[in-house]
Amino acid sequence: MKNTALITGASSGIGMELARIHAKNGGDLVIVARDQKKLDALKKELEKKYGVNVLVIVKDLSQQKATQEVYYEVVKSKIEINCLINNAGFGGMGKFHERDWSQDEAMIQLNIVALSSLTRYFLPDFIKRKNGKIMNVSSTAALFPGPLQAVYYATKAYVQSFSLAISEEVRGSGVTVTAVMPGATETDFGKRSGMDKTVLFKKTHSAKKVAQDAYNGMMKGKLTVLTGLSPGQRIMLKLSPFFSMRMKLKTIKKLQDTT
């Protein structure tokens, strides 16, 4: 396989669009998600349309040892990964003390532990070869605490901080790390998390556009990519340091309240 990208959460949304973009550019793929049917359909589409090779790995990355199994399967298949794209993740609405802890625990496992673990498995290989690109899909949620999505916002803050830190650690090694920060995007995420009922998701950006911005940024070795935001939202982000934390918390809670 040549110029191979491993993409988690590739069965839908941004992950699926990233797979299409990479295949269109002539790259082979390892696609990872839980849904065998969707992955097989994507494999068939990309191999037929672009003549690339696609390996399907069906894994629930919220389960312990799943990332180790993914890495070992790649090694066993003698595939050299050139781009690692940690896209898989999910959120959930509600007050922290009222939510099902097993759901939040699985969220932490997927959004933080699996992402960090896959990075740890593949990064030494990249460093050794002095070549490789890592994309970690964060969120604009990383910039603030998130009342009514406390754990999700916190996991994305981790992804952002982690990505920036290791990007500096590997600077000059030939390896780049890019943190992608999408705004509200037209994917299954909104429905699964309950965010589709909030003000924030009244206007979403296409997963295809967000994925293209993310991919371009990764290929250029950018530190961060901010995408999927309206001009008004970009202005609000720039103005946010001038508001008190209490005001920001109150506003974010109001934007996410579906009652």
Residues recognised as catalytic: 152
Q: List Cβ neighbours of 14 (8 Å cut-off, separation of 6 or more).
A: 87, 137, 182, 185, 187, 207, 210, 211, 214
The three-state secondary structure class of 244 is coil
Check if the beta carbon of residue 32 is closer than 8 Å to that of residue 61. yes
What are the CA-CA distances from residue 192 to residues 52, 70, 90, 139, 171 (Å)? 31, 25, 8, 16, 37
Question: What gap in Å lies between CA 121 and CA 210, rounded to an integer?
Answer: 27
